[in-house]
Amino acid sequence: MATKASRSAARLMMAPAVVLLLGWMLVPLSMTVWFSFRKFLPLRGGDLGWAGWENYSRFVSSSSFWPAVSTTLIIVGSVLVVTVVLGVLLALLLDQPFWGRGIVRILVIAPFFVMPTVSALVWKNMFMDPTNGLLAYLWRLFGAEPLAWLSEASKESIVMIIAWRWLPFATLILLTAIQSLDNEQLEAAEMDGAGPLQRFGHIILPHLGRAITIVILIQTIFLLSIFAEIFVTTGGAFGTRTLTYLIFQRVLESQNVGLGSAGGVYAIILANIVALFLMRIVGRNLDA
């Protein structure tokens, strides 16, 4: 990449990829923005012309909007807390030498390979079913009344299903981070009189800061758009309607593309607010 000719050649070679990626991103985005300003009802007359800001005001003034936003934040937040806390503990555990560690490590990653729809169905039918589920069986074993998980503890159930799927991801990243910790640092801390808990708090946890940041950022991006787990289990009932799910209902169940698109634009704004917020708190771990 030294001469003028090679630089312009490089630009030319990269152009197709750049144009494709840009189009890939810009076309759906601009279409969403375009539809959000139209009155577009596919089964009731199609595109009925310019709507101005009406879709936007209707989407926000709907009684389901704010509950959906709070449900989204609660579910995303809880999954983040569960996966990071358990992920750190699991990573610590898997870092210890024990017999069969290689196989256990592979098994731990396994849930991440299960498709979201499949994992949700398995949880719903095999574990959480109030009559035939394993958990119901366990409850009865101790003489307790089985819980109708998805209706009585719906948010918790959804968080459990999603956290189960994302825990391996967090564990894997945190495990590699723990393995990169210089052992002499831990020994130095031991010589300096730090007990196991102090070594964890003063050496291991700060060392994991960057990895935790990455886990939180990546997971947030994916968790804001979770859909299959809700669609398969509660169908958005029992207070599990997230913003993504609400948009889906507006577009497909109410057949109102304009209204759904306005919701999509709100979702983009919400995602950016969350991202900005996260960057503020944890982003400083990424430099240095």
Partner 1 sequence: MGQIRLEQVTKSFGEVQVIQPLDLTLEDGEFTVFVGPSGCGKSTLLRLIAGLEDVSSGRILIDGKDATALVPAKRGLAMVFQSYALYPHMSVRRNIAFPLRMARMSRAEIDRRVEEAAEVLNLREYLDRRPGQLSGGQRQRVAIGRAIVREPAAFLFDEPLSNLDAALRVGMRMEISELHKKLGTTMIYVTHDQVEAMTMADRIVVLQGGIIEQVGSPLELYQRPCNQFVAGFIGSPRMNLIEGPEAAREGATTLGIRPEHLRLSRSEGPWEGTVGVSEHLGSDTFLHIHGIPGCDPFTVRASGEVDLRHGDAVFLTPDRARLHRFDAEGRRIE
Verify binding: residue 283, partner 1, rule CB under 8 A: no
Q: Does residue number 182 form part of the binding site for partner 1 (CB under 8 A)? A: yes
In terms of CB distance, is 174 or 232 closer to partner 1? Answer: 174
Helix (H, G, I), strand (E, B) or coil at 288: coil
- What minimum distance in Å lies between the beta carbon of 277 and partner 1? 23
145 sits near partner 1 (criterion: CB under 8 A): no
Q: Is 135 in the site for partner 1 (CB under 8 A)?
A: no
Measured from the CB atom, is 108 or 203 closer to partner 1?
Answer: 203
Q: Choose among 65, 75, 53, 37: nearest CA to 243.
A: 65
Q: d(Cα 196, Cα 199) in Å, to the nearest integer?
A: 5
Report how far apart, in Å, the C-alpha atoms of 236 and of each of 72, 142, 221, 231, 263 are.
12, 31, 20, 7, 16
Indicate which single residue of 190, 218, 238, 283 sits in contact with partner 1 (rule: CB under 8 A). Answer: 190
Give the largest Cα separation in the chain, rounded.
Answer: 79
Considering only the stretches 14-22, 25-33, 157-165, 191-199, report the one whose residues sit in contact with partner 1 under the rule CB under 8 A.
Answer: 191-199
Residue 282 is a binding residue for partner 1 (CB under 8 A): no
User: At closest approach, how far in Å is the CB of 204 from partner 1?
Assistant: 11
Cβ neighbour number for residue 286 with a 10 Å cutoff: 12
What sign does the dihedral 60-62-67-69 (CA atoms) show? negative
287 makes contact with partner 1 (CB under 8 A): no
Site for partner 1 in 192-211 (CB under 8 A): 192-194, 198, 202-203, 206-207, 209
Stated as kind and residue range, the H or E segment containing 222 is helix 205-223
CA distances in angstroms from 18 to 6, 14, 28, listed in the order given: 18, 6, 16
Decide if residue 58 touches partner 1 (CB under 8 A): no
Nearer to partner 1, 275 or 282 (CB): 282
Taking the C-alpha atoms of residue 15 and residue 21, their distance in angstroms, rounded to an integer, is 10
Cα separation, 234 vs 231, whole angstroms:
6
Whose tokens are 């926000």? That residue is 60
* Selected range binding partner 1 among 41-49, 118-126, 162-170, 188-196, rule: CB under 8 A: 188-196
Q: Note whether 6 binds partner 1 by CB under 8 A.
A: no
- Least gap, CB of 196 to partner 1 (angstroms): 11
Q: Is 152 in the site for partner 1 (CB under 8 A)?
A: no
Residues that bind partner 1 (CB under 8 A): 182, 184-185, 187-194, 198, 202-203, 206-207, 209, 288
